Amino acid sequence: MSPRHTPRTPVSTYRVQVRHAFDLHSVAELTDYLAELGADWVYLSPLLEAEPGSDHGYDVIRHDRVDPARGGDEGLVEAANAAHGAGLGVLVDIVPNHMGVATPKANPWWWDLLTHGRESKYAEAFDVDWDFGNGRIRIPVLGSAEDLSALTIEDGRLAYYDDRYPIAPGTADDGADARTVHARQHYELVDWRRADADLNYRRFFAVNTLAGLRVEVPWVFDESHAAILDWVRRGLVDGLRIDHPDGLLDPGAYLDRLAEATGGVAAPDGQTPREGVYVLVEKILEGDEPLPDFWATDGTTGYDALGDFDRVLVDPSGERPLTELADRLADEPVDWHDLIHTTKREVADGILHSEVLRLVREGVWQTDDDPERLADAVGELLTCFPVYRTYLPFGEAYLDEAAAEASRRRPDLATEVASVVRLLKEVDSPISKRFQQTSGMVMAKGVEDTAFYRYSRLTSLTEVGGEPNMFSEDVDRFHARMAGRQEQWPAAMTTLSTHDTKRGEDVRARIDVLAEVPAEWAEALAALEAAAPIGDTTFANLLWQAAVGAWPIERDRLHAYAEKASREAGVSTTWTAPDEEFEARMHAAVDLVYDDDAVYALVERVATSLAAAGWSNSLSMKLLQLTAPGVPDVYQGSELWETSLVDPDNRRPVDYARRRQLLREIDAGALPPIDETGAVKLLVVAQALRLRRARPELFTGYTPLTASGPAADHLVAFDRGGAITLATRLPVHLAEAGGWGDTTLDVGSAPVRDVLTGHEHPGGALRVADLLAQYPVALLVTEGGKP
């Protein structure tokens, strides 16, 4: 097909998780609904062939074709044609950092590597320390070292139970037994526990079955991107989302290469490159950390924006009582920075210690330091790193900050820390480059996947890209952040829910209400602990917040969440050594919610008491996200209440038939009530998306608007250049104060119309009570303006 003319930058996107149960043919059938909803582009999860049975697609095993289980190459053509025919662009998620290797035979590159070792063409593609493995790559799959006795030879392959591994040519011709043959291979099957310290290949985080790729090697880039670039050249795909760029050796150079390959032109040093296709990076920014402005990207995937939309709706007066509650539950003050120092150091000394030791091997020959002390210093420096990574020399101040903190916490290692920092500032040295690939792993595993499950003060704040120590965000800071986004990254994505978020947006919106009613929550939590004791009160705080936030939630979902969350926390039980007694008590407590009338009534009562304010927060959060600067993404199904918990819960099937029916009813003129159906959220999503798509000129600027009157602090309002957003914050306290009263907002001299309700208003200073008489949000345009 000939390339279609698509505006380079989407107005909005709609994320779809493509999988066997909802493949690209299903996506094609969905495009008419997405167009009716108002979405501008469809945004697809990874499409290349993944591990058999993969429900997410981030474990790619082949780069030369679309996964047959996801619809295959013909499915992509069908979906792209349907999308383009409906006026939608196509954005696709790609995974350059790693490949899935759980099933060796399924991955031709990995199979060849295991067969031929260093002589394999693909030895250059994977990041293997062959010398450390004595010329062999270590595969941590054995239940114990003694399990080598379980090896057999079947059909010319080495078999370990259901797993199969290749046999190198000429190594089994003498009738040797399986253990002898294994000893002759270019790989070594080892006890899975050895992965922590003895692994000799780079992984995605600590996932042994995801092996890191070296896309900095030109042919590796070319072969791993051949199909992707073909999609772009053929006009099937209009934009790309880059998964985990921080794992790459040089993300900036990768993005330059991608821009060139998709029609852009690399720039001389210090200048901005010319654009290729629309490109987003899954980059997590800490606090006010800037995205490198020399990267050939349109911005991040929006976790930084998510934190702003959440925190502006959190009541700052709840910080002290909820902090005191958390400290009381823990029997000691809980300091966020000390907590993440502990969890990150656990990771550096535990599941990622093999990465620490590889860094030592990269650098020890350049110093006179003792290798063990050098490893201690590297681990401490990784632990104290304040951001995911640097791109030296860009970000050198973060390295200096980490060095100062490491020396403060460990003055006994000051000399070794200084030695490591000196090596790291030699930016072309192997240790410098590898350290920058590694620091993000320690941050992600230590903070997102551990500390977030131990810090239960207000769990809506423990979200990907978030900083839970920042309890709330005042309206002035929110406006400053949005104005900065408009000025610096107007085409970056914004999001509220993704396949990686710990809680769906509407779970967080309801949990936010707890900051307005901390005493009531403390009382409810005490009652729950008395009626359904778990034995870990800090974890109980997290679990019961999830329960009331997602209520009503099915029994099996709450059980699954409890098990994952408790093991991720790693305090009372762990993945590698589950505490059966604790987990039995925890699951019994969950069962009581469904089997004990009193416990059920308690959870039901608390959830019901939070529901109305939570729905108000949900609508405010959604309208803020949909109309603020950036490209808003709607995660699949979240046009109704999104009450998912952590994955895989957030990849459950979506009932699109129900959504189509509700949208038809809305388009027929029905103004839905605010209730459990979530139809009112669908109204907000559809009308906001449609207005942005039809009238983009109304969204070209950002001007904060300030209300006047007794309830002014309860309103977040801004003018995007003709479209005015109003959103309620802190609804419990607003109701306690008697509502909006005489609070007014100047909307300009011209009459305006609320596109959500159709209500018309004169210009000038208007009573907020009138503007928000129907819903806690409004989206105003000059009268006569149509979505």
Q: Give CA separation, 8 vs 279, 298, 598, in Å.
A: 10, 11, 57
Angle between helices 396-409 and 371-383 (to 10 degrees): 110
The ranges of the chain with pLDDT < 70 are 1-7, 264-275, 784-787
Under a CB-based contact definition with an 8 Å cutoff, are residues 138 and 199 in contact? Answer: yes
Amino acid sitting at position 256: D
Whole-angstrom distance, CA of residue 475 vs CA of residue 172:
71
Query: How many CB atoms are located within 10 Å of the residue 217 CB?
Result: 14
Q: Report the DSSP pairing between strands 715-719 and 703-705.
A: antiparallel
Ordered alpha helix ranges (H), 39-139: 72-85, 108-116
Q: How far is CA 183 from CA 154, 534, 615, in A?
A: 17, 48, 62
What pLDDT shows up at residue 112? 98
List of residues 6+ apart from 372 with CB closer than 8 A: none
Q: Give the integer Cα–Cα distance in Å for 334 and 125.
A: 44
What is the rounded CA–CA span in Å between residue 699 and residue 627? 8
Q: What is the DSSP letter of 289?
A: P
- Residue 621: helix, strand or coil by DSSP? helix
Residues 545, 524 contacting (CB under 8 angstroms): no
CA distances from 284 to 307, 388, 389, 448 (A): 11, 7, 10, 11
3-state SS class at 210: strand
- The residue among 124, 12, 1, 3 whose CA lies nearest residue 494 is 12
CA distance 339 to 334: 7
- Token pair, residue 572, equals 């009372």
At residue 400, what is the residue type? D
Alpha helices in 169-217 (DSSP H): 178-183, 195-198
Instruction: Note whether 362 and 431 are within 8 A (CB).
Output: yes
Supply angle C-alpha 772, 774, 775, rounded to 5. Answer: 65
Q: How far apart are CA 301 and CA 445, in angstroms?
A: 20
Tokens of 220: 């590796």
Beta-carbon contacts of residue 471 (< 8 Å; ≥ 6 apart): 311, 314, 316, 318, 319, 457, 458, 461, 515
Locate 33 and state its tokens.
């609904």
pLDDT 10s digits, 755-777: 999 999 999 999 999 999 999 99
- Please, how many CA atoms are within 13 Å of residue 108, restricted to the half-sphere of its CB? 8
Alpha helices in 292-363 (DSSP H): 303-311, 319-330, 336-349, 353-363
pLDDT at 3: 33
Which string of DSSP letters, residue by residue, matches 538-559? HHHHHHHHHHHHH-S--HHHHH
Strands in 534-655 per DSSP E: 631-635
What are the C-alpha distances in Å from 364 to residues 139, 260, 352, 360? Answer: 25, 38, 18, 5
Cis ω before 490 (30° cut-off from 0): no
pLDDT at 264: 64
What would the two tokens of residue 19 be?
Answer: 């999988």
